[in-house]
Amino acid sequence: MPAAPARHILFLNWRDTNNPEGGGSEVYTERIAAELVAHGHRVTLLCAAHGDAPAEQVLPSDVHVLRRGGRHTVYLRAALTYVAGACHLGRLAAGVRGRPDLIVDVCNGVPFLSPLYARCPTVVVVHHVHREQWPVVFGDWRGRFGWWLESRVAPRVYRRCRYVTVSKATRDELVRLGVSAARISIIQNGLPGPSEEPVRRAAYPCLVVLGRLVPHKRVEYALDALAALAGELPDLRLIVAGRGWWEPRLREYAARLGVADRTEFAGYVTEQRKHELLSQGWLALVPSLKEGWGLTIMEAATRETPAIAFRGAGGVCDAIRHGRTGLLADDPDDFIAKVRWLLTDDGARRRMGEAARRYAETFTWPAAGNQLATLVDGVLTSDHRAP
């Protein structure tokens, strides 16, 4: 069978990995976009501008990045950019990009609603549904409006589009919002093999939390576990790696609990430092309210570090095989109990860590890229949005 012709694919995502607020969704977007480039497609990523980041950039993967608008205006700028036919990189690639043949519309709560203005097929990527997060992030009318937009407007606008998600849990939630299961494909995250040798495990019990410091990541529960177990494990320490506007509140909370001297706020860390921390840690804690999958869980797994998360947090149930590669807690008290168990049972912790590594080895970006490339080729060949 002849290879599919190269097409121009436009990704719409609110952030990129260089954005200080970027997270797992941005890693997924850029890695899977790079895989489409490897399949011969031309790929442009349009996201919000931030800081001193250039308005136009070509990544080493040959993904072309356009930064337009800000946190709230990027959605309008995406529509205006498309309508103006300006999906190119000016001086860097003048005339090469042109209008896209297909849009990959990444919905992180607020949808781009690209079918309203685009004259090409759209594939929708949803990492997780934000029902629980809207009232946490915005406790007023903005949260209600956001949930209405996500749960009512988006399913109708995207009613003829194919969906991609990263976990069975999110697929099931989308079905409950009225999206036909037949239109949803699960394409899970990949994992690059660790590029550095693991460092030695810490000699003292060490907990690691990695991610953005925002309310819905619920780092407070990790601090609660630290405080509850400090008397039993006098050497216990917690490392919180990441940055975000909630950090001052977390520092205050650690001080109120009396564990500020046991808690290290490491801030932003490089990839190398991240893997050093995941190697040193005895456990990775993921107390988040909701995760599409749990990239941090799998990154910890590559270092044989089991993770503990909450059973009701969505895609973490796919990232953790409960009792084999890590643990899922039912409530805050159960979370603390499970942290205590694995910190004090060296054999169970070691067995779960080894199983976690084997499980993580089954996820690769080329495999995820092959799945998306097949989906994209099918959508472009049929030249219509799924009914």
Q: Do residues 95 and 115 touch, judged by C-beta distance below 8 A? A: no
336/213 same-domain check? yes
Amino acid at site 156: R
233/284 same-domain check? yes
150/296 same-domain check? no
Residue 278 lies in a domain: yes
Cα 282 to Cα 259: distance, rounded to the nearest angstrom: 18
Q: What Å distances lie between residue 61 and 17, 36, 37, 332, 374, CA to CA? A: 13, 10, 7, 42, 20
180/288 same-domain check? no
- Residue 232 DSSP one-character state: T
224/146 same-domain check? no
Residue 387 lies in a domain: no
Residue 304 sits in a domain of what CATH number?
Answer: 3.40.50.2000
Residue 201 lies in a domain: no
Q: What does each of the 387 residues of the chain score in pLDDT, given as a tens digit?
A: 345 678 999 999 999 999 888 888 899 999 999 999 999 999 999 999 998 899 999 999 999 999 999 988 999 999 988 877 655 444 444 344 568 999 999 999 899 999 999 999 999 999 988 888 788 778 788 989 989 999 999 999 999 999 999 988 899 999 999 999 999 999 988 887 666 676 789 999 999 999 989 999 999 999 999 999 999 999 999 999 999 999 999 999 999 999 999 999 999 998 899 999 999 999 999 999 988 888 899 999 999 999 999 999 988 998 999 999 999 999 999 999 999 999 999 999 999 999 999 999 999 999 999 999 999 999 998 854 443
Residue 219 lies in a domain: yes
131/265 same-domain check? no
335/212 same-domain check? yes
Cα 72 to Cα 83: distance, rounded to the nearest angstrom: 19
Global pTM reads 0.78
219/98 same-domain check? no
Q: Structural domain of residue 90, as residue ranges? A: 8-190+364-382
Number of domain units in the chain:
2
243/276 same-domain check? yes
186/108 same-domain check? yes
Residue 302 lies in a domain: yes
Handedness of CA 24, 312, 329, 137 (dihedral sign): positive
Residue 238 lies in a domain: yes
326/373 same-domain check? no
184/266 same-domain check? no
Tokens of 233: 């494990």
Residue 144 lies in a domain: yes
